[in-house]
Structure 1
Amino acid sequence: MLTLILWFSAIGCGLVAGLYFAFSGFIMRALGRIDLGAGINAMNAINKVILGSLFMPLFFGTTLASAVLAALALLRWDEPSAALMFTGGLVYVVGMFGVTLAFNVPLNNELASAAEVDDATAVWSRYLKHWTLWNHVRTVASTIAFSCFIAALLAV
C-alpha cells in the first residue's frame, strides 16, 4: 500500500509541477502581453474552468496522499525512505497547498472582482507579479516533492 501511495503522490506532484511550470514559464507572460481586459478575462476563465476540471481531484488527492506519507514517515523513521517521504510530504503540503490557499487563491479572488474595480490596471499588474512569484514557489515545491517521492520509491 505504501508503494502505491508513493507512486500516486510522485505522479500527482509531477503533473502539478508541470502545470505550474507552464504558467510560470510562459502562460503568465503571454497573458501579460495581451490587452488588459483580455488578459484578465482569460485568467478569470482559467480560474473558473480549473475548479470543475480533473485538476481538482488531483490537487486535493495528491495533497492528502502527501500528508499521509509525511505522517507514515514519522511512524517508520528508522526506514531508509522515511526522511524522503517526510520531506516530500511536508514540502508539498506547505509549499504547494499552503501557498495556494494563502496567496494564489486570494489573488484569484481579487482578480475576479477587478472588472468591478476602477483601477483594473493596477490590480492586473500586481496580480501578474505576485501570483507568478507564488506560482514559482508552488512549482519548486511540487518538483522537490516529486523528486523526494521518486527517491523514496528507489529506497523502498
Structure 2
Amino acid sequence: MKIFVLALATITTALVAGVFYGFAVSVNLAFAQLPDAAYITATKAINVAIVNPAFAASFFGAPLFLLLAAWMNARPAFTRRGAYILAATIIFWIGSFGVTVAANIPLNDQLAAFSVEGVSAAKLHEVRTAFATPWNNWHMVRTLASILAMVLLIIACLQRGNKEVNH
C-alpha cells in the first residue's frame, strides 16, 4: 500500500509539474506576444478552462497523496525514502500548492473582475502589467517547486529497502 500511495503522489505531482512547466515554456511565451486586451481576455479564458475535473484531480490529489505518503513512510522508523517524501511534501505544499492558493489564484480573481470593454489602452497596459509581473514570478516559484518535489519523489521511488536514516 505504501508503494501504491507513493506512486499516486509521484504521478499527481508530476502532472501538476508538467502543467506548470508547459505553461512556463509555451503559453507564457505566446501570451507575451499578445496585445494587452488579447492577453487579458486569453488569460481570463485559461483561468476558467483550468477549473476542470482532470486538473482538479491532480492539483488536489498531489497534496493529499503527498501527506498520506509522508505519513505512511514516517512509521515505524524514519527512512531515506521517508525523508525524500517529507521534503517533497513540504516543498510542494509551500512552493506549489501554497503559492497557487495564496498568490496566483487571488491575482486570477482580480483579473476576472476586470472588463476590457471600453477601457483605454493605457489602462489595459496598467492592468496587464500589474497582473502579469507578479503572476509570472509566482508561477516560476510554483513551477520550480513542483519540479523539485517531483524529482525528490522519483528519488524516493528508486530507494531500495527501508533502511533507517543514520543520526
TM over 0.5: yes
Tell me the alpha carbon deviations over residues 88-137 of structure 1, each in whole angstroms, 9 at most, x when there is no partner. Answer: 11111111110001100001011112216953321211221111111111
1:141 maps to: 145
2:165 equivalent in structure 1 = none
- For residues 47 and 145 of structure 1, do their structure 2 counterparts lie closer, same or farther at Cα, with a shift above 3 Å needed? same
Is residue 114 of structure 2 the alignment partner of residue 114 of structure 1?
yes
Structure with greater helix share of residues:
1
| CA drift at 1:33 | 1.5
In 2, Cα distance between the equivalents of 1:2 and 1:22? 30
Aligned residues: 156
TM (norm. structure 1) is: 0.90
Whether 2:66 is the aligned partner of 1:66: answer: yes
Q: Any unmatched runs of 5+ in structure 1?
A: none
Moved over 6 A (4+): none
What amino acid is aligned across from residue 66 of structure 2 in structure 1?
S
Is the Cα contact below 8 Å between 2:41 and 2:116 reproduced in 1? no
Selected match of 1:124 from 120, 123, 128 = 128
> Which has the greater radius of gyration?
2
Cα distance 1:68–1:34, how it changes in 2: closer, same or farther (>3 A)? same
Distance 1:116 1:20 in 2: 26
Higher mean C-alpha deviation, range 24-33 or range 111-120: 111-120
Letter of the 1:39 partner, please give it: Y
Q: Which residues of structure 2 form unaligned runs of 5+? A: 162-167
